[in-house]
Homo-oligomer: A and B are copies of this chain.
Amino acid sequence: MLLHLCTWPEVEAYLERSQGIILPIGSTEQHGPTGSIGTDAICAEAVARGVGNAIDVMVGPTINVGMALHHTSFPGTISLRPSTMILVIRDYISSLAKAGFTKFFFINGHGGNVATLKAAFSETYAYLADLNFPNAHQVRCQVANWYMCASVYKLAKELYGNEEGTHATPSEVALTQYVYPEAIKQVPLSPEVGRGYPIYGAADFRRHYPDGRMGSNPALATPEHGKQFYDLAVKDLSNGCLEFLSAD
């Protein structure tokens, strides 16, 4: 079930059998010379909807702009500041908690979101408790990164080895190729690629990662790989989500 295609009475009926919701969260940021700006949002949304279908759980609207400040020296990147994103997440959760949702399963496509998301969860638990929300003590949030699923990680290593890298990876690019085959891009990639340098500010990032890739070779990606990653991620996260929703 996709929240945006439901009516409010349908949501009301849903809440009688479940208080769980999946929230896809990605980013709008450079993904190297061939990766789509929307890669992280595309992947998170596709996987989240697959999971929602598989286990009949409501899927909310995709948060397609996240915390990507370190990518803002590349055009096309849009980022929230962490302080803004904390408020956004707080507003999402408190709106939904007011209606009765209590279990928030964020399917995430961007490593840069994780720290701020976790900070936002802590902020929100205290916020709801301080405001005496009736269900404050039932509210639970979890972030699940599709690219960190054991099966996904294993396949990426098998297919790409060290060329998987950590940003603009062939695995995530493959998944976007599966979702949007019409938007596959190929350009010559320089054989050298930045690798292993920590992430600080945006200018520093671009200096060390001049074409935006971090140790990756996205030219290895294929839509067929993408389907494999998709299937694995949906399966793993369906289990993960069910476990989360059924926990005491």
Contacts and interface: CB of A to CB of B under 8 A. Distances in A.
Interface of A: 2-12, 15, 28, 30-38, 41-42, 60-62, 64-65, 67, 69-70, 72, 74-84, 86-88, 90-92, 94-96, 98-100, 112, 114-123, 125-126, 128-132, 136-137, 139-142, 180, 183, 185, 187, 198, 200-204, 212, 247
Nearest to A39: B4
B32 A7 contact: yes
Contacts of A84: 84, 87-88, 90-91
The quantity of this chain's copies bound in the complex is 6
Contacts of A96: 78
Contact of A75 (B37, B92, B99): B99
Contacts of A212: 8
A201 B34 CA distance: 36
Contacts of A117: 115
Contact of A201 (B31, B32, B120, B137): B137
Given A15-B75, A136-B201, A5 B38 contact: yes
A221 to B, nearest CB: 13
A124 to B, nearest CB: 9
A193 to B, nearest CB: 15
A75 B58 CA distance: 13
Contacts of A122: 67, 69-70, 81-82, 112, 115-116
